[in-house]
Structure 1
């Protein structure tokens, strides 16, 4: 059976007509990376429903690696997220009109989860190729963090996903959306390199290695 990489992106939100996270994920659908097949899927920018869709995808594909992508307007680099927090605090409504304030993603669950991707090794690989990349200490409190936390909770608690590693990457706007921005082809190239590194390196060798922002 071919091993799979699940790569998710979001639909457009906030009045936009596109979301680079989904365009980048879609561009990698079906690609082979180190013997693994990329499966791309779109998540709705909706609290709760996004996790329902993600849960079904995890059950269906039983991936070896999961990388969820989101758009971060105002960032100029691929942001490798370190930590997901158990808080929903929406600055604007999601695509279903929900705007939770200070609620838990998962009641009774830990305050936070760290990514299980080797983000420092991924950072080094990207920067070595001259790509704009950074380690981010916050994924926000909107649907991106909601999905990131839900993913990591699933990986930590579901026996069937015990061997699955995962995390979250924020991507910048595309040039047509505003500045700062990154061309779609550069986002796709960077993500392919980051995923390749994540397959090659199981975990970072030392806390604090590399450069953070």
Structure 2
């Protein structure tokens, strides 16, 4: 049986919760290893430039997963974003939970400029849309801890071509935002992540459809 590692982040920026971890726990509550054909293991990562990649790398070494999906929350987004590109750049708008706010430094000094997700990103997006949740292929995971974690993930797995890995952003929960601001209920985020994981496990070749933009 294959093994899936699913991670979310803890609270940050004075928030009492993180939509990503809430969604990950929701997935864990309904996942059945035998039905899904894969063992699911979840881990919570700190919103820390230094510690998140270390915790993630340790989990990968210990678990040797076949699929890794890291999840973060994205304020201001209305759709689930399946990230396609991780860049080797940190440019922090706010400090992380350790008080660090690096500006214009690489995630991994001397490493590649960027790494692509090895998930079937377009198939994942279509799978999310099929369960009634808005989704998009995203070309930017930002320059904060989410992107740093995504880049560290792909850098760690660069010599493991059979391990599928990538990053997904979920919108904030309704209770985290002002009325009328973009958000997604917890149930929608859980359904979206389930769809992503199932596509990541079963789809052998990504969909030959365009997901590009003109800007």
Question: Aligning the two structures, in what range does the TM-score lie when normalised by the shorter sequence?
Answer: over 0.9
The residue that corresponds to 2:56 in the other structure is 54
Give the Cα separation in 1 of the matches to 2:54 and 2:165: 17
Q: 1:72 to 1:165 in 2, by over 3 A?
A: same
Deviation of 1:101 (Å): 0.5
Over aligned residue pairs, what C-alpha RMSD do you find?
1.4
Once the 2 structures are TM-superposed, how far is the Cα of residue 203 of structure 1 from its aligned partner? Answer: 3.4
Q: Using the alignment, how far apart are the partners of 1:71 and 1:51 within structure 2?
A: 17
Partner SS state of residue 5, structure 1: strand
How many residue pairs match? The answer is 207
- Secondary structure at the aligned position of 1:99 is classed as coil
What is aligned with 2:133?
Answer: 131
CA distance 1:130–1:212, shift in 2 (3 Å):
farther
* Structure 1 unmatched runs, 5+: none
Task: Identify the residue that residue 198 of structure 2 maps to in structure 1.
Answer: 196
- Tell me, yes or no, if the aligned pair for 1:136 and 1:212 is still in contact at 8 Å: no
What is the rounded CA distance, in whole Å, between the counterparts of 2:210 and 2:123 in structure 1? 8
CA contact (8 A) 2:131 2:191 kept: no
Instruction: Give 1:3's aligned residue.
Output: 2
1:26·1:41 contact (CA, 8 Å) conserved in 2?
Answer: no
When normalised by structure 1's length, the TM-score is: 0.93
Aligned to 2:186: 184
- Runs of 4+ displaced beyond 6 Å: none
Q: Distance in 1 between matches of 2:52 and 2:97?
A: 11
Secondary structure, aligned partner of 1:156: coil
Return the offset for 1:212: 4.7
